[in-house]
Structure 1
Amino acid sequence: MHSAFYKNRSAYLYATLDANYFYSNDGQTLAPGNLSRSFSEVGDRQTHELWPGLAVGLKVAL
């Protein structure tokens, strides 16, 4: 018996580079310490953090 739909199975490896940003108005931090850049004014509890990111994955299309 033959299927009415043709199924092409493929796998894709991918990698992405990105920039992550986090804002806090109560002094919290989220970024990893050695790769991040934090921006805030003296006496102000607002912080802006920026750090690089990398994602690697495998996508399977059925």
Structure 2
Amino acid sequence: MRLAEKVKEKRTTPYKEIAKKVGVCPLYVGQIARGERVPKRKSGKAAKVLEELKKMCNETN
């Protein structure tokens, strides 16, 4: 296994972590974070992603 592949396995982005937790792709998380997609249902996946993003922002500040 190449060094780059090993690093990629161990390191993840915040978007990837949220995507894995909610069950969506990281691209979808990025679209919600940028405001390109807006949650329509309160119990949907997009709402869960938005909630996780807000938690992450509150933890770092």
TM-score, L = length of structure 1: 0.21
Q: Which structure's residues are more often strand, by fraction?
A: 1
Q: Which structure's residues are more often helix, by fraction?
A: 2
Which one scores higher on RCO, CA 8 angstroms, separation ≥ 6? Answer: 1
State which structure, 1 or 2, has the greater radius of gyration over its C-alpha atoms: 1
TM-score, L = length of structure 2: 0.21
